[in-house]
Amino acid sequence: MQPRAHFRHCPRCGHAQSATGTGPLFTCESCGFRYYFNPTVAVVVFIRRPDGHALFVRRAKDPGKGLLAPPGGFIDIGETAEIAAVREIREEVGLSLVDLQFLCSEPNQYLYAEVTYPVLDLVFTARAPNPEEAQALDDVDGIEWLDPITLAPETMAFPSMQAALRFWQGKLSPPR
């Protein structure tokens, strides 16, 4: 269920709501308390090494367990997307990045503990100056360096990642 559907009582006054509303705004029928539901923002990074291969992680947990995704994670409150990208990549695969550049954004959904969170994925590209330091750390089953030009988008864990990979493939040229 979307987060909105779980709000059957007002979180301020506790009043039971007669109907589950739709749309981004919750308004309490009793006290008028208002709360907006917005997407959670996440960042993922297509990281290339000098031979042109890109780093993908094999997801250790659902959603998308066993499928591939570029490394990344959720942005913390108060963080920029760029700082979150650097932090998440260090935490997840132990790499430092150079040439971090925004590529595109894609809406996504993320099911966690029976709540379907609407997500906006911010997709970046970067280079790894020390690709041999990559390792599978947080929530990662394994890491693989793959040729992004020939990689099938269907191997990605989420439709947003499939769309992002297709978009990136449209811009990539084979390494010379």
Residues paired with 59 in a beta bridge:
140
- 31 sits near Zn ion (criterion: CB under 5 A): yes
CB 17, min distance to Zn ion, A: 9
> How big is the site for Zn ion, counted in residues (CB under 5 A)?
8
Q: Is residue 57 a contact residue for Zn ion (CB under 5 A)?
A: no
Minimum CB separation of residue 34 from Zn ion in Å reads 10
Site for Zn ion in 63-82 (CB under 5 A): none
Stretch of 10-18, 43-51, 94-102, 123-131 contacting Zn ion, by CB under 5 A: 10-18
Instruction: Tell me the CA distances in angstroms from 91 to 21, 60, 76, 122, one per residue in order.
Output: 38, 15, 14, 18
CB of 144 to Zn ion, least distance (A): 50
30 binds Zn ion (CB under 5 A): yes
CA distance 16 to 7: 9
Separation in Å, CA 142 to CA 45, 54, 67, 136, 174: 16, 14, 10, 5, 25
H/E stretch holding 167: helix 159-169
Pick from 28, 68, 75, 165: which binds Zn ion (CB under 5 A)?
Answer: 28
* Footprint of Zn ion (CB under 5 A): 10, 12-13, 15, 28, 30-31, 33
